[in-house]
Structure 1
């Protein structure tokens, strides 16, 4: 056999291997549907909704760091009095009050920030 034929067969084998690998990898993302007229239709399945845990954890860490920094800057007593001032407000401000109330994590962050300065 000639070298060009061997090269051709090697390329064909590589294409088949890639196709088999791609089929194996995407088999979970394929939906097979049989229509009433007898045709089989293969469609890509809808992507599953994944929860971005890393992003949620980073937002929570930023909130606790912000609360701790504000508590360290204003002082715990003044911070509590300002938060208490918002209680008899609208529903949105009450939600903000509940979110910004002092908690153990932000109090710890505030203590750590105060030790640095």
Structure 2
């Protein structure tokens, strides 16, 4: 993943945080590796739907080397975008959140960042 100069990134516990220097919003990325087999689109959608308590409309998409599902919603004064993205046995759970007042401000930049996601082989 390529992080633009106007954004920062750091690893924290089991996740990666990426934020813009203006403190508008923050991306959080967590990973899950399946022990056997690959994630299917149906399996990803089932995981995504089971994680949210509210009903949202999931849309399929591709970001970099990963394919999956995304949805946008608001919760407790925050605008939230979520992605469940997989490449083979690797699942990325990605969340971007910001204040409702800033909804949409970083959408294009966040999409550009996620479009640079690459799956590196362990060879």
TMscore range, shorter length: under 0.3
Q: Structure 2-normalised TM-score?
A: 0.24
Higher RCO (CA 8 Å, separation ≥ 6 residues): 2
Structure in which a larger fraction of residues adopt strand = 2
